């Protein structure tokens, strides 16, 4: 079994997705660490897990499937929303940016 270390997963998410909320970082890291990823690297495991979660929990993907839309078409329809969420997580939160600039000015 090739389980990825929890600390490495959290570090990867925080580095590559600084806008991802802390509770989501912990959730994703635990999900990823609990599975056997064979020879997949951390980045691939994070990407697959985030995409899958967002598709099923934050879009109407499952509803589309229930209404008879084929899986590939349903994925195509919801992918822009998934991409938008991932894009927002790749940016540093504004509050962190402002806080850093205030700290730099006070030094």
Burial 24-63 (b: 16+ CB within 10 A, else e): ebeebbebbbeeebeebebeebbeebbbebbbeeebebee
The pTM is what?
A: 0.80
pLDDT attached to residue 29: 96
Is the pLDDT confidence value at 1 over 50?
A: no
Res 107 pLDDT > 70 = no
Q: What pLDDT digit, counting tens, does each position of 9-66 carry?
A: 999 999 999 999 999 999 999 999 999 988 889 999 999 999 999 999 999 999 999 9
Q: What angle do CA 62, 90, 54 make, to 5 degrees?
A: 10
Q: How far apart are the C-alpha atoms of 62 and 71, rounded to whole Å?
A: 9
- What mean pLDDT is predicted for residues 81-105? 77
């Amino acid at each position: 079994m090739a389980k990825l270390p929890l600390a490495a997963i959290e570090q990867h998410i925080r580095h590559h997705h600084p806008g991802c909320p802390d509770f989501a970082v912990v959730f994703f890291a635990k999900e990823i660490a609990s599975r056997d990823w064979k020879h997949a690297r951390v980045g691939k495991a994070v990407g697959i897990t985030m995409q899958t979660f967002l598709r099923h929990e934050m879009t109407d993907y499952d509803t589309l499937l229930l209404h008879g839309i084929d899986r590939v078409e349903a994925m195509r329809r919801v992918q822009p929303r998934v991409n938008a969420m991932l894009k927002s997580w790749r940016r540093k939160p504004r509050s962190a940016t402002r806080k850093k600039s205030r700290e730099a000015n006070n030094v």
